[in-house]
Structure 1
Amino acid sequence: MSSTQSTAQIAGSGEGGKAFPIPQGMSLSYWLQGVRASPLLDHRTTEQLSKSAEVVIIGSGMTGTLTAYELLTRPNPPKSIVILEAREMCSGATGRNAGHCKPDQYRGFAKYSELFGADQAKKVLEHQFKTWTRVVDYVRKENVACDLWVGDTLDVAMSKEVASQLAAVYNDYKAYGGKVDHINYISDSAEAEKVSRLKGAQALWAWKASTLYPWKLVAHLMKACLAKGLNLHTWTPVTSVSASPSIPAFWDVITPRGTISTPTVVYATNAYTSSVLPSFAKYIQPTAHMCDKVVPPRAYAGSRALQNSYNVRMPGGTSYSINPRSNTDGIILFGGNNPNQALLKAYLDADPNRLFDDSLSNFKPITDAVRDLTSTAFEGWSDDAPAAGIGPEYSWSGILGQSADALPFVGKVPDHPGQWICAGFHGHGMVHIFNCAPGLVTLIQGGTWADTGLPECLELTPERLAKINERANNVGKRVV
């Protein structure tokens, strides 16, 4: 594999409280490659940092930008909001994913039920559908140029065992009263193969979802925020946050370019949370994943291009996510937890700093697994002779913020009055953030959790953290 590693030593805490370097070099995702001329990438609203602000938001991805947007567009907005971004605008997970906004509509019911109970599990799945709806409604209402596609997404089981496991969860969710009338469940393997175009498909579940260009959606929100007075500073990493020694109830947000004092800090830092909030090293684990850009051959181009997005479920709990960008350039993006993710994880574990390093690119085993799927499962994929410009072109890394109990943390940071967090999306930020960030703003403005409309299990509470600690002690490892 190839990697360009350039890191800045920033005091943080990784596994076991060890300090780690935050990478400053980075691979360029498909999304970041496509916007190299945007002045937002290195925008600084003012030459110097403010000495103080009403609100300081750390992170300029979907969470940080939408939090600012909600604060600025509601009644009585703060007089000053500063967003601090360690590198380019929206260069973290939002700018590195595979472009899916796919609400889980049954599959997570078993896992969430085990962790939080069936009622909360049902609420989480309903929340994801509401979030997807909110994203689509906003993009359409505001006419956001972000390549929005709405169509059928497919969960495809590639073995009888996987099909049986998924069917059991689906049936349990349906029996509990979960809404499934919008899901087309195909249990006949021949029909599943025909609909999915995947040889060996045993069953599939289809429902409406979306793909989009996530960076451009954030850019649209960011421009609206800047027009309303937001102060954005890119390439301004936060090294620490500490109680102000001179202003009671204020926090000093410290950067290499100066210190900002504020009564309100928002951590929109996802996988990088423990670099500025060390106590969260136990609760949000950074783990690099890879996405591959693939140019389809003639058999999957033009009128024969893929018309669905996918989650291809493989034996052993692995999967591929597939975004075919069928309404734009037809480039196919492969992500997910593919069968060779274990090899990537072993490589990462050999040096803990790599868990945070999104300069990683072209990890061969991940791309080999993509080649294997396309050549063996997609009928006719390999019929054409090899040619330049066809097949996997390159891959990039993104850092997942894996939550210790599989769901994001939203709310007050315990024992840190004035500090708030919305992070730990476990690889599913696009179906959480558009409701979680507005919910966080409701709390910041004095609302109750009930006012947010979010599932109770998403709230960050001391009790939730205690349960995670108890489970970790009993099991001996983090629950993921």
Structure 2
Amino acid sequence: MPFWPQPYESTTSHWQQTNRGPTSLWNHGHDAPLPKEADYVIVGAGVTGVSLAYHLTRPGAAGEGKSVVILDAKDVGSGASGRNGGHVSPRSFMYLSELWAPLEHGGGGLSMEQAVQAWFFELDNLNYIERLVKAEGLDVDFWRGERYEVFTSPEKAAHTRRAYEEFKAAIAKTQYADRHLPWTVVDDPAKAKELSRNDRALALNIGPAGSWHPHRGVTALLRLALASKSSECSFFSWCPVQSFTRDGEGWALDCGPRSVICGREVILATNAYTRHLFPDDTSGLKDHIVPTFAQAGRVVPPASYAGACALDHTYAVELGPYLIQTPHSGLVLGPYIDVLEKRGIHTRDQVFYQDDDSKVTEGVRQWLQSYCKDDFTGWGDEAQGEGLVHHWSGILAMSLDAQPLVGPVPDHPGLWLAAGYNGHGMAMIVNMTRSFARHLQTGQWDSYMPAHYAITPERLARAQKHADKLK
């Protein structure tokens, strides 16, 4: 966390509110003494740390016969993993051109092959989570279906067909040429309005989507790790790591009043709070990860959008929200960061380099309160207890080159990192930590994972030249 003790009380998300039963692992290990050492110490009990622990503790994995300790400054899923919009969907093909745009133009600086690989890695993540949920029998409200990407301006509506053709042409030039493209473009305005139930729609894309209850998902994976019979796995909540120092062949983690624990291998799954662990960094690692303030809310729909009339797709709307329909509690939605800026609700300074999740803002509250009434056809009046009923915030982590940082930290043997998901972590993390666990076992980068995720001095230096794009 940014400071400890934390000088504020964080907001509580819908997901955190609705996972409070006896299996929720709140305060787990809160008062237990830390072991003096462990083979693997994972810092952070969000989806990165927890899914990595799950993969490490499977029979035959790197953690077999070894000790795995997970630490968190607060509780399981207390950060972005328990505060997000609930999506586990791959990003839109509309985003690929941004990935291969040059860094100096605000893009990711990737090759076309790299951008396409990143997209299919996210699609594979959705498929893998679906298999994992079924295989482990997880009760996490997992849903698999389709997403509507709704465009309301003539410019974007005209662009979507061109972007799709560019997407197909790009894939045809890569190793993924034989992969099925699960997208449909609807550029007839009348059909777009009918399908999306939005009278402003001029076009829409229909593509693969998934959602789950993220806090229950993270907690379920942690329970499986703790129950492993092939590894000795333990979790300690409310155990903030203040600093780390080299200790023989491993690392000593100073956990303040909770004492010190030494890890042979230490994995930082700290996302937006990573920079606080590198106060003296000069390599560019600290500045590569930008804590970013985001907000979301829960809207209970009126009867006009309930039952057989409930939304049956997830949504991404131009100058609007990302949105999912939960099984029981209505809609969870939030504004994209660029939407806030374009609508004059927030400035960039109010969003970037911010790590206080104790607040919500009035401008976003008003926008969340009015969006569904204003944009969904036939929404109608809201009775008491309907409409916006909850509003929270969270801190995500932007990466200067729009790609996560994964793997060994340069010049820090035995120290590993996975962070910087650009608000899109649930779409890649569980698949990524599967490869990460293989890397920990073999000592070699898993070729299945995009190589451009790796942390290299060259990558950090290259991104630093264009750091002002988030300022």
| Normalised TM-score (structure 2) | 0.89
Q: What SS is found at the alignment partner of 2:336?
A: coil
Say whether residues 1:357 and 2:353 are aligned partners.
no
> For residues 236 and 168 of structure 2, what CA distance do their matches in structure 1 show?
48
Say whether residues 1:396 and 2:392 are aligned partners.
yes
Q: CA contact under 8 A between 2:289 and 2:420: conserved in structure 1?
A: yes
What displacement does 1:25 show?
2.1
What displacement does 1:186 show?
0.3
> For residues 2 and 55 of structure 2, what CA distance do their matches in structure 1 show?
32
Say whether residues 1:455 and 2:450 are aligned partners.
yes
Q: Which residue type is aligned with residue 303 of structure 2?
A: R
2:316 to 311, 316, 323: 311
Residue 271 of structure 1 corresponds to 272
1:465 to 442, 455, 460: 460
Residue 245 of structure 2 corresponds to 242
Residue 222 of structure 2 corresponds to 222
What displacement does 1:470 show?
2.7
User: Cα deviations across residues 192-232 of structure 1 (Å, max 9, x unaligned)?
Assistant: 00011011101111122111101111111111111123111
Residue 287 of structure 1 corresponds to 292
Residue 235 of structure 2 corresponds to 232
Instruction: Give RMSD over aligned pairs.
Output: 2.2
Task: State the aligned residue count.
Answer: 445
Residue 198 of structure 2 corresponds to 198
User: Where in structure 1 are there 5+ consecutive unaligned residues?
Assistant: 1-6, 11-20
1:410-449 matched pairs, under 5 angstroms: 410-449=406-445
Q: Which residue type is aligned with residue 422 of structure 1?
A: A
What displacement does 1:249 show?
2.0
Q: Which residue type is aligned with residue 332 of structure 1?
A: L
Q: What SS is found at the alignment partner of 2:371?
A: helix
Q: CA contact under 8 A between 2:293 and 2:351: conserved in structure 1?
A: no
User: Cα deviations across residues 79-111 of structure 1 (Å, max 9, x unaligned)?
Assistant: 211111011111111110110111124122101
> For residues 447 and 374 of structure 1, what CA distance do their matches in structure 2 show?
50
Say whether residues 1:171 and 2:165 are aligned partners.
yes
| Normalised TM-score (structure 1) | 0.88
> For residues 46 and 399 of structure 1, what CA distance do their matches in structure 2 show?
27
Q: What SS is found at the alignment partner of 1:222?
A: helix
> For residues 171 and 180 of structure 1, what CA distance do their matches in structure 2 show?
14
User: Cα deviations across residues 359-396 of structure 1 (Å, max 9, x unaligned)?
Assistant: 223x22112223343222211113x3x42101001200
Say whether residues 1:30 and 2:11 are aligned partners.
no
> For residues 403 and 44 of structure 2, what CA distance do their matches in structure 1 show?
19
Residue 262 of structure 1 corresponds to 263
Say whether residues 1:83 and 2:70 are aligned partners.
yes
Q: Which moved more, 1:154-163 or 1:413-422?
A: 154-163
Q: Which residue type is aligned with residue 239 of structure 2?
A: T
User: Where in structure 2 are there 5+ consecutive unaligned residues?
Assistant: 102-108, 173-178
What displacement does 1:56 show?
0.8
> For residues 190 and 370 of structure 2, what CA distance do their matches in structure 1 show?
21
2:150 to 126, 148, 156: 156
Q: CA contact under 8 A between 2:249 and 2:264: conserved in structure 1?
A: yes
Q: What SS is found at the alignment partner of 1:108?
A: helix
Q: What SS is found at the alignment partner of 1:176?
A: helix
> For residues 367 and 347 of structure 1, what CA distance do their matches in structure 2 show?
18
Q: CA contact under 8 A between 1:24 and 1:87: conserved in structure 2?
A: no
> For residues 45 and 454 of structure 1, what CA distance do their matches in structure 2 show?
35
> For residues 217 and 455 of structure 1, what CA distance do their matches in structure 2 show?
25
Identity of aligned residues (%): 32
Q: CA contact under 8 A between 1:23 and 1:357: conserved in structure 2?
A: no
Say whether residues 1:53 and 2:54 are aligned partners.
no
Residues 1:456 and 1:351: Cα distance change in structure 2 (over 3 Å): closer
Say whether residues 1:370 and 2:357 are aligned partners.
no
